[in-house]
Chain A
Amino acid sequence: DAKTTQPNSMESNEEEPVHLPCNHSTISGTDYIHWYRQLPSQGPEYVIHGLTSNVNNRMASLAIAEDRKSSTLILHRATLRDAAVYYCILRDSLNSGGSNYKLTFGKGTLLTVNP
């Protein structure tokens, strides 16, 4: 399975942009890049995903390198509520008997937001 590498922790100030990096050098052509986040004492929640092009939604933006070996989750204006663990995971787009649902969550990046 393709794996991802993220920094253990990052710190930001409230209302400043945050760039959370993720390396996935062994990504395959059919892997989507997904991001989830886990707020304290809650289950993970979906944030955003992409394949090749940059993506934007109401929560964040996802910037994907041209060679797809890395990506960056961008929170444009961090709030205290964005303090969470952020997980970058790869998901195979081929629906091969459910194996694309065996998602591997590493330790993620713990984001601290300072007021």
Chain B
Amino acid sequence: NAGVTQTPKFQVLKTGQSMTLQCAQDMNHEYMSWYRQDPGMGLRLIHYSVGAGITDQGEVPNGYNVSRSTTEDFPLRLLSAAPSQTSVYFCASSSGQGGSRGELFFGEGSRLTVL
């Protein structure tokens, strides 16, 4: 069982370049989300999705786009990378059951450096 898979694990970009971080889960989870984690900080929610075709903004959505065309995939797009987007990005998924069920499963992270 692969769980949540993120690619790439490492990426270096130049300012202004665009790229997509991929996230896929094989648990048939309805909910998926993207977090970023800066050094010494907790995780901050970027965008999340409650199902295919439905996305919403989190705490720090500026500079990022998402789409959810399938249940399995939730890519995160950086339209024009900036040094402030240098961070470690985590994708997470959860089942559609709320409250005590539906723990978050996280990927291993994608480390992005913008020069």
Contacts and interface: CB of A to CB of B under 8 A. Distances in A.
A104 B94 CA distance: 15
A92 B42 contact: no
Interface residues of A, number: 29
Contacts, number: 74
B100 A44 contact: no
Nearest to B55: A98
Given A32-B99, A43-B109, A95-B99, A103 B104 contact: yes
A49 B97 CA distance: 15
Interface of B: 4, 31, 33, 35, 40-45, 48, 50, 54, 56, 58-59, 90, 92, 94, 96-100, 102-109
Interface of A: 30, 32, 34, 36, 41-46, 49, 51, 87, 91-95, 97-98, 100-108
